[in-house]
């Protein structure tokens, strides 16, 4: 392999798998279902192996993509997200009669955009990656073409996403006007040398970039699309975009703001800490009022975005490592929770309201136990991974002097326990009725994916040290 292309090998594996999925769909006989998902798994496995081979090499392609350990760690998270998402997708595809090849190809191309966004070192490349993943996710959100709810969700997501992309692009233009470059290293060196902390155009550039990133991470007040998109999309797509998009967006967020815009920290942290506080509060308080589990998890996702913003603002060694560890923990946990929703969904009935979980323990004790693990981890119960992730985030905030933000984070975590435990009460302590939901059988591959997620949650909660050390060492490579 030519050294100049080494950094893009993991992404090339994913793109090749996406192209193979399209070709397989095109040449498969009409009366046969070719197993396309394994092609995606093979491509993602190749990306993982390439990432391992590139570890500690700091490979770079044309100065635009950097396979440093930070980007490779995020790529590893996205590989896990991709494999788990592919594993839980088959039940929904079969029930909804979705176009199999189109579905898997879009998911793989979205993963390519996510990986590019995590490893890009130029603002224009980040923007291109953002558009690649966004367009694929827009289409996946509305892939149920006969569903009015899905079409509405995709349309709202597309319109708001287009506005946020415009803000982000204007932010790039202003940044180029101030520094004469879109490369992150050059931007950081110019800002540090000239101390451009008070110029209006510099502040406008930072503000516009914040808006672009805030939309993708569902930060308040740019969160309006999240509940509708999560409810309207097929459950595996919701699982995929709630974890993959957030992981990629926060990776680019960290790379831009803790590296290139580090000299402007005093300015952008003043803007971000109220956004983080509002995101935690709104996500938690509004989530309490939800009766639809998908919308509840959407507001839960908003609140978790606030916790990640808190780690970003902290900016110390604890906070930097906590961002990557939290992203891994959240990805595995949230895909698990949505995976249970996928398996409980029946033909013609979504089974996604609180009432539908009545007596689940008696019908599907295994799924009830798994859902309990995922919900308790999201709530931050020890000894699960969510507890360790929140502990490090709040510790980082306190060490950086953001005590009030840490207090808000702890209080909102306590409040969020109410809507997580409400589902647990419905599953275990509420007797079944004649009108209770009837659930389909559990496919083996999807069930194995959920068991794997639960085991990872316990491992990260009981023995987190090694992964935390990797995360801290990885994020140190971008400074």
The answer to whether 153 and 231 have CB atoms below 8 angstroms apart is yes
The number of beta carbons lying within 10 Å of the beta carbon of residue 181 is 17
The answer to whether 86 and 40 have CB atoms below 8 angstroms apart is yes
Predicted TM-score of the model (pTM): 0.94
Which residue do the tokens 């516009």 mark? 208
Judge if the upstream peptide bond of residue 290 is cis by omega within 30 degrees of 0. Answer: no
pLDDT of residue 13: 94
For residue 226, is pLDDT > 60?
Answer: yes
Separation between Cα atoms, residue 252 and residue 115, nearest integer Å:
10
pLDDT of residue 282: 94
For residue 210, is pLDDT > 90?
Answer: yes
- What average pLDDT does the segment 112-134 reach? 94
For residue 408, is pLDDT > 90?
Answer: yes
pLDDT of residue 306: 93
The answer to whether 262 and 187 have CB atoms below 8 angstroms apart is no
Q: Which tens digit of pLDDT belongs to each residue from 233-288?
A: 889 999 999 999 999 999 999 999 988 888 888 888 899 999 999 999 999 999 88
Separation between Cα atoms, residue 153 and residue 144, nearest integer Å:
11
Residue 262, classed as helix, strand or coil, is: helix
Separation between Cα atoms, residue 248 and residue 262, nearest integer Å:
20
For residue 349, is pLDDT > 80?
Answer: no
Q: Which tens digit of pLDDT belongs to each residue from 75-99?
A: 999 999 999 999 999 888 888 888 8
Cα separation values, 362 from 350, 365, 373, 432, 437, Å:
19, 6, 17, 8, 12
For the chain, the average pLDDT equals: 88
Q: Which tens digit of pLDDT belongs to each residue from 306-324?
A: 999 999 998 777 777 889 9
pLDDT of residue 108: 95
Predicted confidence band at 43 (pLDDT cuts at 50, 70, 90)?
very high
Strand partners, 66: 60
pLDDT of residue 440: 67
Of the ranges 7-21, 37-51, 208-222, 418-432, which one carries the lowest mean pLDDT score? Answer: 418-432
Return the higher-pLDDT residue of 362 and 157: 157
Q: Which tens digit of pLDDT belongs to each residue from 53-69?
A: 998 888 887 778 888 89
For residue 438, is pLDDT > 70?
Answer: no
The answer to whether 234 and 98 have CB atoms below 8 angstroms apart is yes
């Amino acid at each position: 392999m030519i050294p100049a292309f080494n950094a893009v090998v993991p992404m090339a594996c994913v793109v090749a798998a996406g192209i193979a999925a399209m070709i397989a769909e095109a040449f498969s006989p009409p009366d046969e279902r070719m197993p396309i998902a394994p092609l995606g798994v093979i491509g993602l496995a190749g990306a993982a192996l390439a990432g391992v081979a590139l570890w500690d090499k700091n490979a770079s392609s044309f100065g635009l993509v950097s396979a440093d350990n930070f980007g490779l760690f995020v790529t590893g998270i996205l590989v896990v997200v991709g494999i788990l998402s592919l594993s839980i997708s088959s039940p929904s595809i079969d029930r909804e009669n979705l176009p199999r090849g189109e579905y898997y190809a879009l998911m793989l191309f979205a993963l390519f955009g996510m990986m590019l966004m995590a490893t890009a070192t130029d603002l224009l490349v980040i923007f291109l990656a953002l558009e690649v993943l966004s367009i694929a996710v827009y289409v996946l959100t509305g892939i149920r073409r006969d569903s009015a709810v899905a079409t509405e969700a995709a349309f709202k997501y597309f319109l708001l996403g287009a506005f946020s992309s415009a803000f982000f692009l204007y932010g790039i233009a202003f940044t180029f006007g101030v520094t004469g470059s879109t490369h992150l290293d050059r931007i950081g060196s110019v800002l540090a040398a000239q101390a451009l902390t008070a110029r209006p155009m510099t502040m406008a550039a930072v503000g516009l970039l914040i808006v672009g990133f805030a939309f993708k991470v569902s930060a308040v007040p740019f969160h309006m699309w999240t509940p509708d998109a999560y409810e309207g999309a097929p459950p595996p797509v919701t699982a995929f975009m709630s974890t993959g998009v957030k992981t990629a967006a926060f990776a680019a967020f960290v790379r831009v703001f803790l590296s290139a815009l580090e000299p402007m920290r005093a300015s952008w942290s003043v803007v971000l800490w109220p956004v983080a506080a509002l995101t935690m509060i709104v996500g938690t308080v509004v989530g309490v009022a939800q009766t639809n589990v998908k919308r509840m998890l959407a507001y839960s996702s908003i609140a978790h975005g606030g916790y990640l913003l808190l780690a970003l603002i902290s900016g110390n060694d604890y906070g930097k490592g906590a961002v990557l560890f939290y992203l891994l923990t959240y990805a595995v946990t949230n895909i698990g929770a949505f995976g249970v929703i996928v398996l409980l969904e029946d033909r013609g009935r979504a089974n996604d309201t609180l009432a539908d979980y009545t007596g689940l323990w008696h019908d599907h004790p295994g799924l009830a136990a798994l859902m309990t693990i995922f919900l308790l981890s999201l709530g931050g119960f020890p000894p699960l991974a969510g507890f360790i992730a929140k502990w490090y985030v709040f510790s980082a905030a306190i060490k950086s002097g953001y005590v009030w933000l840490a207090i808000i984070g702890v209080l909102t975590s306590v409040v969020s326990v109410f809507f997580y435990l409400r589902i647990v009460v419905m599953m275990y302590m509420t007797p079944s009725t004649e009108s209770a939901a009837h659930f389909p059988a559990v496919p083996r591959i999807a069930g194995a994916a959920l068991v794997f997620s639960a085991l990872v949650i316990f491992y990260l909660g009981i023995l987190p040290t090694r992964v935390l050390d990797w995360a801290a060492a990885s994020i140190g490579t971008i400074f």
